[in-house]
Every structure is written in structure tokens, then in C-alpha cells.
Amino acid sequence: MSATVDIRFRLNGVDTEVTVPAGMSTLEMLRERLDLTGTKYACGEGECGACTISVDGVTVNSCLMFAADCDGRELLTIEGLVASPVGEVLRASFARNGAVQCGFCTPGIMMQAQHVLRKHKGCERADLQRAIEGNLCRCTGYVKIIDSIAEACVTADTEQGA
Amino acid sequence: MSGISNYVAPRSLDEAAELLRAGNVTLLAGGTDLMPQSRNGRTQLRPTLMSIRRVAELRGISEAAGNVRIGALTTISELRDSVLVRERLQALWQACDRFASDQIRNAATIGGNICNASPAGDTLVPLLVLDAQVELASKSNGTLATRAVPIADFLLGPGQTARAATEILSGIVLALPPRHFISSFFKFGTRPALDISLISVGLAARRAGNALHDVRVAFGAVAPRPIRAPAAEAALEGKALDDGVIAVAAAAAEAEIHPISDVRASDWYRREMVRNMFTRVLAHVRDR
Amino acid sequence: MGAAVDIARGETLIGKRVPKMDAPEKASGRTRYIHDINLPGQLHAKILRAGVVHARIVSIDTSAAKALPGVHAVITAADVPWQRPIGVAKDHLPLKTDRVRSPRDEIAAVAADSAEIAEAALRLIKVTYDPLPVVTSAEDALRPGAPLLHGEELTWTAPDGRREVLHAPSPDNVAMTFNYAQGDVARGEAESDTVVEDVFWLHYVTHCCMGVSGVIAEFDADDNLRLYSNTQVPFLHKREFAELLGIDPGRIRVIQPPIGGGFGSKLDIYPFEPIAIFLAKITQRPVKLIFTREEEFLASPTRQPVLLKLRSGCKRDGTLTFRTVDTLHDNGAYTSWGATTPFVMMQTISSLYRVPHCQYRTRAVYTNNPYAGSFRGYGNLQATFAVEAHMDKLAEAVGMDPVTFRLRNAQEPGEITPQGMHFKSCGFKQCLETAALRSDFRRKHNEYRAKWHDSNPLKRGVGMASMLHVGGGAKIYPSDGCGTILKIDDFAHLTLITGASEIGQGSETVLAQLVCEELGLPLSAVTVVNNDTDITPWDVGVHASRTTFVAGNSAIGAARKAKAKILAAAAAKLELPVERLGLRAGCVVETGSGNRFIEIGKLIRSLHFSDKAELVMTTHYYEPPSQHQDREFKGDVSAAYAWATQVAEVEVDTMTGIVRLLRITGAHDVGRVLNRLGIEGQIEGGIVMGQGYATTENLIVENGVVRNPSFRDYKLVTAPEIPAIDISFIETMDGEGPQGAKGVGEAPAICVAAAVANAIYNATGVRLYALPFTPENVYRALKGQAQPPVWRVAS
């Protein structure tokens, strides 16, 4: 049987302690141990981005990350994001611009979008397209997702300026 | 799921090397290759899983005495964001730009990409043409020691490297290219990234007028490991680039590669693409 | 909100950009998909698949698996002797008895305390097989002496010993045939000045819903089944599950959690669902079964692969004369909806353009390959690909430009085609002209063609394709209707209970819009209930681009009844003639002046608490005025038909074969735009799905084995690859459609591959007859190294 590891980390701003099998992925830990089901399984090998979370300020595929490796780190999931001002801006923009159809890829793309907004590497459409190249969406054809992130970029800019 | 009986996360290179000496350790860096490979059975995890993420000595890009040292834990995103890499090591920057996706670039490390030793590994072809050396640390006789191995000698085959089980790849060292040095990486694919190379082409050389010197050519995904192409290099060495020279070099390259047919492409197509894309890369250099 | 509607001022909701009602919840990660639901006491199930392509099952030993701690049940076919076959032709047993016909075939299943334990148990099951020769293509399956996939009859023995034949033997591997004819093709050919004939190959692709397949089954103490399912057809499946279990359909309740993509993939029952039910019955515990992504690639249906031979002709003046079509459908190991795509294909063949003489023939043939299901567009991508290639070839042969040639043969409003389709609204010619104009088609087509022999290895091209698809339901089942129940409470909150499922396409929002439009209420006053067969009235399912049209008309019907009741009550209370009253902005108003008399909530309360003591609750069932096809496949199967033209502009790198899709200019006859945001999303998504079909997606099947069951090697289009998209809506205001609208769900995916093929020809002078246009395939064709598809089968 697999060894377990006791880990401590900050999850959506809250100190969290959990004991996980050493081989467990962060995605499995979030969904099965911590009941945070907003982070989705859709491929389990880093090809689709549905499980995107933020770790120490950068986005990663949680399916590719050993849960044990969360020890001492700062995690943000979709549940934490939507409780923040930037999450609210994104959620409103995604809804208003029609970025959501079946919605299964949406939390992962929201997470990737917050990374774009945080790193602020430019809001040109081509940059945004590249920024979400690791997120697959089967419904929307991406157009309205890109619209949504572009609008959120502008909103975030305005709010920062104000 | 796995037979891991022990998880360790050392904080220094010395500690990590000590743990490795004890044996039966799987090294974990970004995890982006290790996790799926351990799940699909391609990699058997050993009893001890060692995360090296906290080892500070393995981080950072530094420049000293005409050399650049890249810590093994440097992520692909950090390389892509580095001004030094973008301006001086263009081929490496281009490979990092075309590497997987943002999420994977944020987690994957250059050390991991090298040790995974995929024939299609994106950073390997630029490291070959940049004549990089990998630095291997171990405590085989009780004290921490390092040795340097040229990347071409380090890569042995798919998933096979010259790293001993007690060694840890601690960094990559390469000479900072001189002025008028050009390097270029081309990855064949239909999309900017999130793609496994069908073939890739690397070129580096010192440029004098229209002629290239110290030419280095490498190809990915056309042999069991990324390879240098000495005959193509010789065909270009010291010559002014014109259509004739380019054609001779491309023909030479074709003779040096051994592509396979798989689910992604046929060997015939890979050959055609090496010839066409090498030709295109050289033409771009000529016209630049 | 940017373009929000000011309902307080009584503005119309129709045609506005209305955000999806479920978007905030989904974007918050709060929506509970089937994967996110866990029931107390639930077990986790996993399926053992054969892994071998074609074999007899010699023995199965489950003893070690059963002994594993945490395992509650291990079942094989022997444990469920009462299982019945599933699928369109009832040729498919959920758990295989003696024979494996595909590597995906289900041999055994485990229910355990966790998915990991269930997986571990699978590894302990020992199965021995006796290999059989493999049938790898439809052509091979038709060769004399080919191994028979379903050569024996499939019987079922009831618990009382009664024996039934459920599937007759197929002595020639032919699962289904379709024959359709109109006019006299020999005469058509005799009248032709130009005749072309080609063979086309349309490849395997699969749905790739982002949410993998899953189900949760549980029985209550009275043995009633509750099924949490991703089905797109809950009411049809309720009946099928009842048949499967030998119980009264009334004892089955299907609950539909939000679904992570459908696209037609969930129109059939697949073995995993009955297997979860069997396990739930045996363990008397809730059983949850969720696929891995690899399993999703291996064991969910594909789009129908088709080998198609097309012969067509026209006169010197460009008038089409005849079409003869022969297709081989690779059915795979079992029969699902893919086999029946000829229903749609023959419509395109016979009726997209005016063709007096047509002959169409399909054989759907058993092989050891993956079996094909229904997929957005339902055969129409395949038929359109061939037809539109020939439209270009014929146009070129008679020296006409592609637009003029198509306009000459395009259908017009009022037309009743020889197949019996009646085009009451038809914007086809506007679609052609609009797409051609907005894409600058004629100029570019000439310019690009002139550059075939330029030295520049990068070539550009434009290509056009059009489509016809049902837009007002499709009368395939005995009924094509949908029911609605509407209740308006004392506070004017409206609950819209509809049979129509929301699968991400936005039906919930558009139905709410239609109802609010009638009743003058804001969208915020609506709750839509659409996910529980014990509550919702019957609907035939989400397919055939029918929901907006059929469920929309049903919802409008219920709303109009509620409106009549409210206005009657208002007229009585206000002592005014009912003709002077209307509903707007939450109030009863005077028509014309808009003067407000009373709030709707207040009026309803006064009705409720009056001597009459009434509530406002209405029902409506809408059955579209369409016909079943007769035995010759003739009849007006849809109440309306949708049209579209798309122009693709591509760049072809002749040194690599990479085809970049630069721009799609689409003109769609949608009847009327109801929700502009929603319809744009449908069309953009459909176009990109069509782009994937044309250029990137390819489920590689070799000797019955799927070689690329992952997103690494099965390439969906990613964000940087999408084309610029320009959409024009042609609003023909269909007389039967809800507010004039027609269905649009499938339309946008249908033309893309055909348009891209024509564009590649315009760019390079090389025509490709086989999909997909992956770099190697295109490069081979450009180098003259491609093997074009060949028709080897005797007719």
C-alpha cells in the first residue's frame, strides 16, 4: 500500500492540513478529499486544462501535480477565485459575453484567465489565444471566451486606474 | 496506484544527493512527465519519491565568466520570460515558446525535460546546437561532487540518459554565444504549442557576412534521441548561403536521420519535412 | 449589462444578447455535473474490456477479484442471464456472453468501495480468448467468405423459460440498407452535357465531450430505479431501460444533472449504463460509473465513417440533371444511430439543390471497428462534402463561377421537392449571395486561382459550401412533440417545466425568453425545470436541431394559455374588454397607450384569494405539423428547414501541407434570431467543430484498434487556431417557428469541411477526396503521392 504524507498548505486563503497517499494527484485531493469539485477532470494528463489551479501565483494542471507537492504552498482554486474581486469581474464577463455553454471547461479557463490578468502580459487577442492554448473547449469555438477575457482585461485596467 | 513507501522533500543539494545515495529514489521536479508516465505504467515509481522543489541551489539563471548557468529547476516559463534567454539564446527561447501550454510551462523544468530524454523533447535540440553541458551532482564518495557532461553524450535513447541512479542533474551550463551568433529552432506543428514535435530543426552558427562558421545543426524526433547532424554542418561550414549550398546541406541532413512511422506521421513525411523545413530555416537565415 | 434589456420599459427580449441563465453558476464551478455527485453509501464501478479485437470467450475467472477486500460485486454475462440487447437494432448485449467483436467490448464489471479498488479488481480477472479473424473494413466485410460478425440469431430467454429472437442473423454482414429513388437517373444522365464521378472517404471522429461519460444508478426499497444520467433523450431511454429490466417504465425516474457536452453522443444507450444498473440491483447500493478519458475515446461512439461514390451531371447551361450515390457505412461491431444517417444524407442529395433524378443507396456493414453513433449534423457533413465538391467540379466543367452555378440550382420558397420536403421559408439564395458578397468570393476565387503556378509556397484559396438541414424537428419517432407545464405563483414568479433538456446549447434561456415575451415578465422571474422525468412532461429528446422550435412552440402555447387566463381575470376585475388589455413589464396594461392597470402578481393574488380561488397553471403539448416518411423515404419530415452558406478562406503551405483556416464567412437562414448571444455561440462553436473535422481530428483505427485514445494525439482545435468568423443572419420569419425562428444547432458544423476542400482546390489546383486534411494527407496529395479512395465493391 502506498505511503501517506501529511501536508499543510494555504487553500483559498485558509490553512489546510490533509493526509494524502504519496501517489495522489492534486486534482484527486481537491475533488475527493476536500470536496472542491469546481476543478474538473477531463483528461488526467495535462492536455485539456479543465483542472487548472493556481499554485504560488502561477497556473498549473492539478492532474499533473502530486498532492504531496502542495506542502507549504499557496493554492487558489475556482472556489477561491470567484470569492475575489477579480473572480467577480471574470464571472460577470464570462456570463455577459456568452463564454459558457456546457460549462465543463469554464472553471479551468477562468483560472487561466485570472493568471493572464495577474501577469498582465497584454490583452491583444492573439496573446489571449496563446494564453489559453492549454484549455480545450468543445462547445464555444473559443470566440466568446476570448471576448470575455479581453473585456475583463479592460475592466481590470480601469479599476486599477481608478 | 503506486508503491511509494516514502516521500521526501530535501532542502539542500547535499541532502538530496545523500538521499539518492541511499538508493531506490524517484526524482520529482515539475511532475508534468512523471505523473502521467507513472499512471500509464511507462515509469515504475521507486519506493522513495523525492521532490527536489525546495532545493534552492537548483534554481535561477545566472551569467558569469562568459557562461550561462541554468538551474535544473528553472521552469520553461521562467526561461521564456528571461531577457537573457530571449536575446542571447534565441533557439532555446523559441523552443520554450512552443513548449506544451502555459500551465505546463509553469510547472515543467528544464532539468526534467532533459532527463525525460524524449526523442521529441523541445529543449533538447536547442541545447544541442548551443553546445550545452549538463551538470550532475552526487555524493558517491561521501562528499558532494559534480561532473559536467556534454548534452550530446548525456542523451542515450528514449528515456535513457547517462545520469547514474545516485546523481541529480543540477544545472545546465553553456558558453554565452559571441556577437553575430545566430541560433534558431523550428518545431513542426499545426498549432503554436500543445503539440508533440513531428520533427524539429535547430541551427546555430557564427555569421560573417553571408557565410556561417562553427555551424551546429540538430534534429528532433527523427532518431531515438535528438541528434546533431555533422554532415549537414560540414556542408554549411564556412560557405556563403545560396540555393546550391542549402540544397546540399538539406540532402546531407536527410542521410543523417532515421525517422520512424508512428501514429503522428510516416517516416517518409518526416524525411520530407526535415528537408523542407531545414531548407526553410536556412533560407530565413540567408534572407535575414 | 452591456446590451441588457430594460424589461421595466417593456422592451422585447427577442433578438437581444441574453446571457445564459446557468452561466454564473457554471463559471463559479458550483454546477454539479454527474462526476461531482456522490450519494451516501455509493459504490464505484469499473468495466473490464476485452482488449482483443475479435475472439470467442473461452473462460472468465473472477474469483480473485471477488475476494479482494472492498469489492462488493463482480459480474459477467452469466450473472445477468436476463439482460437484453440494447441499441438501434437490438444487436448488442451489455455484457458479452461468448463472443468479443471489438476491443471495447464489456466482459465483466466490478462495484467496490472506491474506483481504485475496482480497478485493482479488474486486474485480477482472468479471461482466456480464442482469436477469430478480424474484419477491418466495410469492403472486407462484404467479400464472399468474410467472417460473419452477427451470423447467428440473438435470442433471449425469459425467467419463465420463454425464448424470443431479438436479432435475426445477418448472413452477409449487412446491418441495414437504405434505397431511395426519384425520377429516372438514366434519363438524367442522357440529358447531361457533363458528368463527373468520384469516390470520397469520410473518416472517424468522435465527440470529445469535455465531461466524460458517467451514470449513477440506485434502486429504492420498492425496487424503483432512479438513474442519474447524461442522456439527451430521457423519455425514450426510460422506456428502453424498462424493457431492459423487464419492469414498468413508471418505475424508472431519470434525473439529468447538467451535462459536460452532448453533440448527439447521448442519444443511444451504451453498455455502461445497463451495467451500472445491474450492479446497483445486485448490490442494492447506489453505483457510480465514470469513464476515464482513454475509455471515452475507446468506448464511446464515433461519427459515421462513410465511403461514398457520387456520380452527377448537368447541362451546358448549368442545370443539374441527376445524381447517383452509393455509400458503404462502416457500422462497426454493433448498430447504433450512425447506421441511420442516410435519413439525413439523402435529403441533402435529393433536395439541397433542385435535381430531377436521384438514386441513393446505402449499405451499413458490420466490422470489428468502433461503432458509430449520432453526432451533430448526422450524416450531413459527409453528404455535403461530396455534393459540394461536385457542385464546384460541374461549375468548372461548364465554365461557370461557383456562386452563379449554385444560384441556378438553389431551392426557393414554396418548393416541394420530389422527396416531399416543403420549403415554406427558404433563404437559400440570400445565404449564397450574402456569403459570396461578404467574403468577396468571386474576386478572390479568380485571383487565387491565377496564382497556382507562382513561386510562393504559401497559397491562398476560397471555397464555398451550402447546406440544408431540418429546422423544425424531424418526425422519426411516433411523436416529435414536447410538453410544457407553466405555473405562475402569487408573486408572479414563473416556473417553466419543460420536457426539453439543456445540454449547454442554451435552451433553458431561450425558452424562458419566449415565455417572458408573452407574459411581459423579466427573465429573473423564471425558474426552468428540465431535468427530472417524474416532473417534466414528455419530450422526444435533444436532437435534430429541434429544441428551440418544438419546445419553444410548446412553451409559447402554455404561456398564451396563462396570458389568456390572466387577461380574462383582469378584464373581469377592471371591467374592461379583454381586447384592450396586454401584459408588459410585469403589469396588466392598456394596449396602445401602455398605461399600467395592475401588477401581474397582485392580480394573481386577487384571483387566488377570490371566490373563484384559482391558480395560474397551464399545460401545452406541441406536435409539429410534419409527416413521417413513407416506405420510399418520402414525406415532409420537418415543420421547417434551415439553410446556410459558408465560405472558407485558407492558406496552404505547400512545403508542409499545413492548411490554415483564415476566415469563415457564414450566412445562415435561422428564421429569426431569438437570442443573439446564444445563436452566435452555437454557430461559432459549430464552425470550429467543423474545422476540427476538416483539418485536425482523426480517430485512427487500425485493425479494429483505436491508436490515439488521448487528446495528445487526437487533436481538437485550440484557441490560437480558430479562424476569423463573420456571420450573417438571414431572417426569413418562418410561419410555424416560435417568433419565426428555426433550428440551428447542427447547421454550422455541416459545411466547413466541404468549403475547406473547395478552398484547397482553389489555392492549389489539387482536389482532396478524403478527410481529414492533416498536413501529411495534404502534402501527399500535393506531391501526387496520395491514394485516392477507391470503390471496389460490386453494386
Spatial contact of C100 and C49, defined as CB atoms under 8 Å apart: no
* pLDDT > 70: percent of chain C: 99
Distance from CA of B98 to the nearest CA of C (A): 12
> Which chain C residues have a beta carbon less than 8 Å from that of B263?
700, 707-708, 713
Range of weakest confidence among C6-10, C217-221, C265-269: C6-10
Round to whole Å and give the CA distance between B169 and B157: 17
Asked if pLDDT for residue C4 goes beyond 70, the answer is no
The answer to whether the Cβ–Cβ distance between B1 and A58 falls below 8 Å is no
Q: Which of C106, C240, C518, C746 is catalytic?
A: C746
Contact between C316 and C397 under an 8 Å Cβ cutoff? The reply is: no
C482 close to C499: Cβ distance less than 8 angstroms: yes
Distance from CA of B265 to the nearest CA of C (A): 7
CB C537 within 8 A of CB C575: no
User: How many Cα atoms within 13 Å fall on the side-chain side of residue A138?
Assistant: 26
pLDDT on residue C8: 54
**Residues of chain A with C-beta less than 8 angstroms from the C-beta of B31:** 64-66, 69
Question: Is the Cβ of B100 closer than 8 Å to some Cβ of chain C?
Answer: no
- Are C194 and C397 in contact, with CB atoms under 8 Å apart? yes
pLDDT digits (tens, 9 = 90+) for C618-638: 999 999 999 999 999 999 999
| Chain A residues near residue B4 by CB distance under 8 angstroms | 2-3, 21-23
Using alpha carbons, select from B236, B233, B32, B21 the residue that is nearest to residue B139: B21
pLDDT at A29 over 80: yes
- Residue A64 amino acid letter: L
d(Cα B184, Cα B285) in Å, to the nearest integer? 9
Distances (CA, A) of A91 to A98, A110, A113: 11, 8, 10
**Which three three-digit cell numbers place residue C514?**
419566449
Which residues in A lie closer than 8 A to residue C719 (C-beta atoms)? 128-130, 132-133, 135, 137, 142, 145-146
CB distance A64–B107 less than 8 Å?
A: yes
Q: What is the structure's pLDDT at C7?
A: 52
CA A133, A136, A141, A143 torsion-angle sign: negative
CA dihedral C654, C657, C658, C661 (to 10 degrees): 80
Report, as an integer, the average pLDDT of A41-54: 97
B77 CB within 8 Å of a chain A CB: yes
From CA B2, how far away is CA A133, in angstroms rounded? Answer: 31
The answer to whether C506 faces chain A, any CB pair under 8 Å, is: yes
Can you give the pLDDT at residue C6? 53
Distance CA C765, CA C459 (A): 10
Which residues, at least 6 apart from B131, have a Cβ–Cβ distance to it below 8 Å? B150, B151, B174, B175, B216
Query: Could you give all domains of chain A from N- to C-terminal order, each with its CATH number?
Result: 4-77 (3.10.20.30), 82-161 (1.10.150.120)
pLDDT at residue number A160: 61
Residue with cell 420510399: C632
For chain B, list the domains and their CATH numbers: 6-51 (3.30.43), 56-175 (3.30.465.10), 181-287 (3.30.390.50)
CA distance A97 to chain B (A): 24
A106-119 vs A85-96: helix axis angle to the nearest 10? 120
The pLDDT value given to residue B140: 86
Judging contacts by C-beta atoms under 8 Å, the chain A residues touching residue C20 are 95, 98, 100-101
Residues 6+ apart with CB under 8 A from B160: B117, B225
What pLDDT, on the 0 to 100 scale, is given for residue B191?
Answer: 86
Average pLDDT over residues C452-480: 96
Contact A138 C209 (CB under 8 A): yes
Q: At what angle do helices B267-287 and B243-256 cross, to 10 degrees?
A: 150
The torsion of the CA quartet C5, C7, C10, C11, rounded to 10 degrees, works out to 10
Q: What residues in C contact B198, CB-CB < 8 Å?
A: 775
State the Rg of chain A over Cα.
Answer: 16
pLDDT at residue A157 greater than cutoff 80? no
Pair B22, B16: CB distance under 8 Å: no
Give the residue-averaged pLDDT of C138-149: 96
Q: Whole-number mean pLDDT of chain C?
A: 96
Query: With an 8 Å Cβ cutoff, are B51 and A66 in contact?
Result: yes
Task: Work out the average pLDDT over A139-161.
Answer: 88
What average pLDDT does range C248-263 have in this prediction?
96
Whose cell is 523559441? That residue is B94
User: Residue C9 — very low, low, confident or very high, per pLDDT cuts 50/70/90?
Assistant: low
Residue of A25, A69, A112 best to disrupt the B interface, most CBs of B under 10 A: A69
**For range A127-135, the mean pLDDT:** 96
Instruction: Check residue C161 and give its pLDDT.
Output: 86
CA atoms within 13 A on the CB side of B12: 5
Phi and psi (nearest 5°) for C75?
A: -125, 150
Query: Residues 236..265 of C with a Cβ closer than 8 Å to A: which?
Result: 258-263
Q: Which of A110, A132, A146 sits opposite C27 (nearest CB)?
A: A110
**What domains sit in chain C, N to C, each tagged with a CATH number?**
7-31+481-622 (3.30.365.10), 34-134+212-258+266-299 (3.90.1170.50), 306-474+630-782 (3.30.365.10)
ipTM above 0.95, yes or no: yes
Is C746 an active-site residue?
yes
Query: CA C652, CA C456: separation in Å to the nearest integer?
Result: 11
One-letter amino acid identity for A98? G
Chain A residues whose C-beta sits inside 8 Å of any chain B C-beta: 2-3, 5, 21-25, 44-47, 49, 52, 58-61, 63-66, 68-69, 71-72, 112, 115, 130-135
Burial C336-346 (b: 16+ CB within 10 A, else e): bbbbbbbbbbb
Q: How far apart are the first and last CA of chain B?
A: 53
What is the tens place of the pLDDT at every residue in A91-100?
999 999 999 9
Instruction: Return the axis-axis angle of helices C600-608 and C552-574, rounded to nearest 10°.
Output: 70
Instruction: Name the residue facing B2 among A22, A46, A61 (closest C-beta).
Output: A22
HEC sequence for B235-257? HHECCECCHHHHHHHHHHHHHHC
E-assigned strand segments in C410-540:
458-470, 482-488, 494-498, 526-529
Which residue of A59, A69, A134 is in closest CB contact with B194?
Answer: A134
Interchain contact, B49 vs A68, CB within 8 Å: yes
Q: How far is Cα C751 from Cα C766, in angstroms, rounded to an integer? A: 19
Q: Which of B192-201, C93-102, C337-346 has the lowest mean pLDDT?
A: B192-201
A143 pLDDT band (50/70/90 cuts)? Answer: very high
Q: How far is CA A99 from the centre of its chain?
A: 15
Report residue C3's pLDDT band, with 50, 70 and 90 as the boundaries: very low
Question: Chain A within 8 Å of C208 (Cβ-Cβ)?
Answer: yes
At residue C795 the predicted structure's pLDDT band, cuts being 50, 70 and 90, is low
Residues of chain B contacting C707 with CB distance shorter than 8 Å: 263
* Residue C663 near chain A (CB below 8 Å): no
Question: Which tens digits make up the pLDDT trace of C643-682?
Answer: 999 999 999 999 999 999 999 999 999 999 999 999 999 9
Q: How far apart are CA C740 and CA C762, in angstroms?
A: 37
What are C528's strand-pairing partners? C496
Cis peptide before C772 (omega within 30 of 0): yes
Determine contact: B196 vs chain C, CB below 8 A.
yes
What pLDDT is recorded for position C687? 98
Which among C210, C689, C720 is the nearest to A104, CB-wise? Answer: C210
| DSSP reduced 3-state for C272 | helix
Read off the pLDDT of residues C151-167 as tens digits, 9 standing for 90 and up.
999 988 888 888 999 89
Q: What is the pLDDT of residue C2?
A: 38
Pairing between β-strand C287-290 and β-strand C43-49 as defined by DSSP bridges:
parallel
For C287-335, the pLDDT digits (tens) are: 999 999 999 999 999 999 999 999 999 999 999 999 999 999 999 999 9
Mean pLDDT of C504-512: 96
pLDDT in tens, C41-72: 999 999 999 999 999 999 999 999 999 999 99
* Residues of chain C contacting residue B120, judged by C-beta atoms under 8 Å apart: none
Q: Which of C655, C696, C780 sits opposite B190 (nearest CB)?
A: C696
> Is A20 a residue whose pLDDT tops 80?
yes
* pLDDT in the model for residue C1: 36
Q: Which chains touch B (3 or more CB pairs under 8 A)?
A: A, C
What's the rounded Cα separation, in Å, for the pair B232 and B229?
A: 6
Give the integer Cα–Cα distance in Å for C105 and C84: 16
Q: How far apart are the CA of B208 and the nearest CA of chain A, in angstroms?
A: 35
The confidence score (pLDDT) of residue B1 equals 42
Residues of chain B whose pLDDT is less than 70? 1-2
Specify the 3-state DSSP secondary structure of C253. Answer: strand
For chain C, how far is it from start to end, CA to CA, in angstroms? 61
